[in-house]
Structure 1
Amino acid sequence: MCETDHLDSSGYSRRDLLGLLGMAGAGLAVAPVLTSDPALAAASDLALDPKTMPSDLVNYEAPTNLAVDSQAKDAAVSWIDRQADRIAGLNDRIWEYAEPSLAEWNSSWAEAQFLAANGFTIEWGAGGMPTAFVATFSHGTGKPVIGFSGEYDALPGLSQEKGNPKHNPLVYHHDPYAPTYGFGHGCGHCALGAAAAGAAAATAAAMKARDLDGTIKFFGSTAEEQLVGKSVAVKAGVYRGLDAFVDWHPASGNSTSWSSGNAMYSVAFHFLGTDGHGGSPLETRSTQDAVTAMAMLTEFLRESDLAHTARMHHAIRQAGQAPNVFPTLSSIWYYAREGSPARSKILMDKIIRCAEAAALATGTRMEHRIMGGVWNKLGNKRGAELMYANMTQIGAPTFSEADQRFGKALQRSNGSAETGFSSTISELRPPAPVFMGGGSTDVADISWQVPTISMGTAHQPGGTKNHSWHHTATAAANSGHVAMMAAAKYLAATTVDLLTQPTILAEMKEEFDRRTSKIKWKSMLPDDYQLPLYEPPKWFLERTGQSWPPRGVKWPPRRIVSTETAPDLGPDLPPSNLPPLE
């Protein structure tokens, strides 16, 4: 569980760092930290060639001549304009399906069908996951090979009526004791997948029209919200053979970067005890108490055991359903995020010790299972510069007055400044010299296999949160369509440059090789990792030509059942000889 041998023993030497920095003072300050954590070092600008490393973080100016006008690029962008209704329609269908991670039956099928209709061949079950697929289009020599990322999973509790700036869940489950909301695309993956599919199809159309050599591979990825899909597929070798990878994510601004993110472990904890009655709680091993105790203990870690880069959070997935029934099984799920795999493991080890202490204190039995593990992201400066050049060449999304009124109304409902949707391209800046932590993504594991470019567009107004009903409201509204189409154009234009400018692609690869020369990637998932799968409906297996269970998957999975006995309270007390109270 939570292996430690995912890092190569070799690291950056003090001489390496001094040479990269070009100044001894700075090298002395950072060398002890970075030599002990090669994953952090590789993701920092210290790993760049001194000739290309920004010498001035404040006055850095991004190159403006990387994006080349070409007939192929015009063909791709104009294809997106002509097919805008189909791309938006794909987005809206996936938004309406709002399917959870690992069960995106309709959403993955819709995305694959869109690509198949545009000349791609489809292979289902990538990495042993039923809703993951690889779509391929090849022309001419088939080289270079560029990868696209598609996602389509929704989030629990974020259902919301589209285009409504006031909270109004589209799906509301009535329960007088505990009402809940349905799933919703509060992270915009409906747009992420649709824009990427549109860009991939547009690039394929341009390759045919202008006779460009190359291969486009589109990776339909399941369960990004649970940080499962891509890390599993990378471990299985699904992403091998790529020359570059382009990616985007809905955001509150229009920008690109070569910055990093946090590595993360995801672990589910199950406590098993005995049942009991709320009116007679003696001789009960309370699993609900165990979950509560664990949550309390991990909160104590925040005061003195979490670095500024760390993030730790949990969700109680199963506990008591009625005050007078003690559950025999309760579950709590944790994420531990840190700046590198090694640091993430240290944090998760502390969380596991809290779980062990909670089980000991409550007399329950604890099991834990790794659900996911992803690396910190490896940026690519040259790739970000190419993306930025194309973003500025194409221009920022153009939102209508009605779009901006909607955005400001969303911000008002959130208590944020009413600035509307961003209509500018944020200036490309080098990453902060001191990493401060942040989010995690399973795209990170891909970034250690192939040079990866990422960007975002203003899919939600500034000040509103990702993973919120505010984002669900924009994802199928006109403003969401505008941001999504801009993203599709940025992706397609950048990919055409990768196909037609071998020098830039070679520079990206050279940077990637330099960053990874002192470290060997190894999956954070253990060798005995079990996929957290759901059984697909029969119609999905028939349509996609898959059988169940996938090879290597045991089905049905092992049941987690309590076999605990009541605790010993000691010998019975002798009867009292005291006179009764008057």
Structure 2
Amino acid sequence: MPPLHRRCHVCETDHIEARGLSRRDLLGLLGGAGAALAAGPALLADPAAAAASDLALDPRSAPSSSGDYEAPAGLALDSKAKDAALSFLDRQSGRILGLNDRIWEYAEPSMKEWNSALAEATYLESQGFKITWGTAGMPTAFVATFSQGTGSPVIGFSGEYDALPGVSQEKGNPEHNPLVYDDDPYAPTYGYGHGCGHNSLGAAAAGAAAAVAAAMRRQRLDGTLKFFGSAGEEQLVGKSVAVRAGAYDGLDAFVDWHPGSSNSTSWGSSNAMYSTTFHFHGTDGHGGSPLGARSTQDAVEAMAMLTEYLRESSMAPSARMHHAVRATGVQPNVYPTLSSIWFYAREASPERAKVLMDKITRCAEAAALATGTRMETKLQGAVWNKLGNKRGTELMHANMVQIGAPSFSAADQRFGRALQRANGAPEDGFPEEIADLRPPSPVFTGGGSTDVADISWQVPTIQMGTAHEPPGTFNHSWHRTACGAASPGHVATMAAARYLAGTVVDLLTQPAVVREMREEFEQRRSQVEWRSLLPSDYRIPLYQPPAWFLERTGQAWPPTAEGVEWPPRRLVQTVPRDDLGPSVPPENQPVPQLE
């Protein structure tokens, strides 16, 4: 079967076909639990994982296996409003792709998306949306609103625009050629790039929101559109903070997309995740005189080693654990006083992710004990597993089929095959079909994470992806960056805008579907009490904006919002040199006799 698109942190669950096992047979395997009712919602030991499975729905109406499922026909309706929205996208494609390319060129880090956020908001403002900056205290987050008539229903769009470190690449080049290259003779580095396609994600969603607003004006449709410009998705910060602040309250449906390697949609889940940095405090010193030093570099290396021992017996198939050393020694003869290592712990539910992060934390404590350093932690972010919506996904898939798959030129396909060749993958180019809609496997085997997941527990949420990169290449890589402002990325971006716009027009004009989505959402949530994973003392990882950005957006600094601490607490040395015991006398001095 065709592969699903991959999301950045992100990602919908894989469609894994359980051969020879029915849905009933696998009922007890979900999340390692084994209790369920013959009818009604499944009651499992892990309610969050169960809610994201079709086992949470009425098993009498659920297919017994993926082979029994057939996507319903007739959900996507032809209408003058949909025609108006799609025609708008045809006329506006130059502006939308110009926005796409501009954000690709900015390639700004998470929580520092000054130019990118402003470009997206400025486009929406030109299309009649009202902009409110600084959502939940995050300067580069905003909400753009368009409303007409009764203002109901209220549909949300998702916009992102942050880039990734180390994946800079020339557009349209299938051979590695970073645009930004720091030629440090000791440690060359590559610059930031859109290796997750957020330039396209935000541009397509903004174009779709503008297209639906134009159709609403033309056909006098009631409703409200809310476009959420989200900061720091790559660090899984922006949406979870905004959800906690109530930014997404009052929505009837939420639509999202992500660049991928296929044209597909799913109502599967994702991994919950905890993101934590571990700071080790030690002593400074000279590499030629190391005695008594408490090495923080030793501490991060020891922690990385200890966590590897978790993989054999402490990690389920759905678990993922990975890290990056963010700061440590930069010269062999200088001991670093402070070293930091950053860990992600992903699992099928918040409870399971917390258990895994607790084990990682114990490894940090052991490393600090062994090296005589002092360790402290900082929670950077935490998100739930995603709650899919079958009915909404069926509507999205119907629109994808109705509108049709993207068509790539011969030059696009040559470029795609060259990228695949560079990555050692089969050279079959970009897919030009809509993947069949299949139910997710009842056994969740893990994957990426997304802060859209926190939204999905507040409002029925639909996600899809388009072939923005060829299969066999990887997300978060220079291959994706190469596609983002090139012709294939443009094709995928405009296809995504059409799918989003068509689906939202149907949501505005088919109240029965919105009602069915809400009923499914409430049924999935019936056994779960959602609460933010961010504790009351959580501090948002903020950077001070440049003065010109504050002036352009009308914001003051620092913001008055929960989780804002400015200036942030400084980490300074508080650890003395290690005690080696009594000094050993020089060789020419008599050794004291022991009694």
Q: Normalising by structure 1, what TM-score?
A: 0.94
Worse overlay, 568-577 or 268-277: 568-577
TM-fit CA distance, 1:333: 0.3
Tell me, what secondary structure is at the counterpart of 1:88? helix
Identity %: 72
Q: Which amino acid aligns with 2:247?
A: V
Worse overlay, 50-59 or 370-379: 50-59
Worse overlay, 566-575 or 531-540: 566-575
Cα deviation digits, residues 437-471 of structure 1 (max 9, x gap): 00000000000000000000000000000000000
Alignment of 1:204 onto 2:213: yes
Q: Is the 8 A contact 1:77 1:493 kept in 2?
A: yes
Tell me, what secondary structure is at the counterpart of 1:30? coil
Q: Is the 8 A contact 2:26 2:442 kept in 1?
A: no
Q: 1:318 aligns with which of 312, 324, 327?
A: 327
Q: 1:357 aligns with which of 353, 366, 379?
A: 366
Q: 1:281 aligns with which of 278, 283, 290?
A: 290
TM-fit CA distance, 1:554: 2.7
Match of 1:556 in 2: 567
Q: Which amino acid aligns with 1:31?
A: A
Q: Is the 8 A contact 2:24 2:64 kept in 1?
A: no
Match of 2:177 in 1: 168
Q: 1:384 aligns with which of 388, 393, 402?
A: 393
TM-fit CA distance, 1:416: 0.7
Match of 2:34 in 1: 30
Instruction: Tell me how large the CA RMSD over aligned residues is.
Output: 1.6
Tell me how far apart the structure 1 counterparts of residues 271 and 28 of structure 2 sit (CA, whole Å). Answer: 23
Tell me, what secondary structure is at the counterpart of 2:299? helix
Tell me how far apart the structure 1 counterparts of residues 72 and 245 of structure 2 sit (CA, whole Å). Answer: 37
Match of 1:448 in 2: 457
Q: Is the 8 A contact 1:49 1:511 kept in 2?
A: no
Tell me, what secondary structure is at the counterpart of 1:336? strand
Match of 1:567 in 2: 578
The equivalences for 1:57-76 within 5 A come to 57-76=66-85
Tell me, what secondary structure is at the counterpart of 1:333? strand
Q: 1:250 aligns with which of 251, 259, 267?
A: 259
Q: 1:494 aligns with which of 486, 493, 503?
A: 503
Q: Which amino acid aligns with 1:556?
A: P
The equivalences for 1:209-224 within 5 A come to 209-224=218-233
Cα deviation digits, residues 170-219 of structure 1 (max 9, x gap): 01111000011110000000000000000000000000001110000000
Q: Is the 8 A contact 1:224 1:442 kept in 2?
A: yes
Q: Which amino acid aligns with 2:441?
A: A
Q: Is the 8 A contact 2:133 2:143 kept in 1?
A: yes
Q: Which amino acid aligns with 1:365?
A: R
Tell me, what secondary structure is at the counterpart of 1:556? coil
Tell me, what secondary structure is at the counterpart of 1:389? helix
Match of 1:156 in 2: 165
Q: Which amino acid aligns with 2:199?
A: C
Q: Is the 8 A contact 1:265 1:374 kept in 2?
A: yes
Tell me how far apart the structure 1 counterparts of residues 133 and 517 of structure 2 sit (CA, whole Å). Answer: 30
Aligned residues: 559
Q: Which amino acid aligns with 2:577?
A: A
TM-fit CA distance, 1:374: 0.3
Match of 1:397 in 2: 406
TM-fit CA distance, 1:102: 0.1
Q: Is the 8 A contact 1:377 1:443 kept in 2?
A: yes
Match of 2:188 in 1: 179
Q: 2:275 aligns with which of 254, 266, 274?
A: 266
Tell me how far apart the structure 1 counterparts of residues 271 and 24 of structure 2 sit (CA, whole Å). Answer: 28
Q: 1:466 aligns with which of 475, 479, 484?
A: 475
Cα deviation digits, residues 481-536 of structure 1 (max 9, x gap): 00000000000000000000011110000000000011111001111110100000
Cα deviation digits, residues 306-346 of structure 1 (max 9, x gap): 11000000000001010000000000000000000000000
TM-fit CA distance, 1:223: 0.4
Tell me how far apart the structure 2 counterparts of residues 411 and 22 of structure 1 sit (CA, whole Å). Answer: 36
The equivalences for 1:96-111 within 5 A come to 96-111=105-120
Q: 1:294 aligns with which of 292, 303, 318?
A: 303
Q: Is the 8 A contact 1:283 1:567 kept in 2?
A: yes
Tell me, what secondary structure is at the counterpart of 1:325? coil
Cα deviation digits, residues 412-441 of structure 1 (max 9, x gap): 111111010111111000001211000000
Alignment of 1:511 onto 2:520: yes
Tell me how far apart the structure 1 counterparts of residues 566 and 153 of structure 2 sit (CA, whole Å). Answer: 40
Tell me how far apart the structure 2 counterparts of residues 336 and 369 of structure 1 sit (CA, whole Å). Answer: 14
Cα deviation digits, residues 31-86 of structure 1 (max 9, x gap): 17962210011001011134542233213110121000001001101110110000
Tell me how far apart the structure 2 counterparts of residues 25 and 509 of structure 1 sit (CA, whole Å). Answer: 27
Tell me how far apart the structure 1 counterparts of residues 207 and 166 of structure 2 sit (CA, whole Å). Answer: 28
Tell me how far apart the structure 2 counterparts of residues 131 and 52 of structure 1 sit (CA, whole Å). Answer: 44
Q: 1:411 aligns with which of 395, 406, 420?
A: 420
The equivalences for 1:131-150 within 5 A come to 131-150=140-159
Q: Is the 8 A contact 2:430 2:471 kept in 1?
A: yes
Q: Structure 1 residues 22, 152: closer, same or farther in 2, change over 3 A?
A: closer
Tell me how far apart the structure 1 counterparts of residues 583 and 381 of structure 2 sit (CA, whole Å). Answer: 48
Q: Is the 8 A contact 2:27 2:55 kept in 1?
A: no
The equivalences for 1:475-490 within 5 A come to 475-490=484-499
Tell me how far apart the structure 1 counterparts of residues 123 and 158 of structure 2 sit (CA, whole Å). Answer: 15
Q: Which amino acid aligns with 1:497?
A: D
Cα deviation digits, residues 93-114 of structure 1 (max 9, x gap): 0000000000000000000000
TM-fit CA distance, 1:267: 0.2
TM-fit CA distance, 1:304: 1.2
Q: Normalising by structure 2, what TM-score?
A: 0.92
| Unaligned ranges ≥5, structure 2 | 1-21, 37-41, 591-595
Tell me how far apart the structure 2 counterparts of residues 100 and 22 of structure 1 sit (CA, whole Å). Answer: 43
Alignment of 1:228 onto 2:229: no
Tell me how far apart the structure 2 counterparts of residues 463 and 368 of structure 1 sit (CA, whole Å). Answer: 37
Q: Is the 8 A contact 2:196 2:480 kept in 1?
A: yes
Tell me, what secondary structure is at the counterpart of 1:79? helix
Tell me how far apart the structure 1 counterparts of residues 111 and 517 of structure 2 sit (CA, whole Å). Answer: 33
Tell me, what secondary structure is at the counterpart of 1:317? strand
Tell me, what secondary structure is at the counterpart of 1:66? coil
Q: Which amino acid aligns with 2:508?
A: L
Q: Is the 8 A contact 2:26 2:443 kept in 1?
A: no
Q: Structure 1 residues 577, 544: closer, same or farther in 2, change over 3 A?
A: closer
Tell me how far apart the structure 1 counterparts of residues 439 and 152 of structure 2 sit (CA, whole Å). Answer: 31
Q: Structure 1 residues 25, 465: closer, same or farther in 2, change over 3 A?
A: closer
Cα deviation digits, residues 215-234 of structure 1 (max 9, x gap): 00000000000000000000
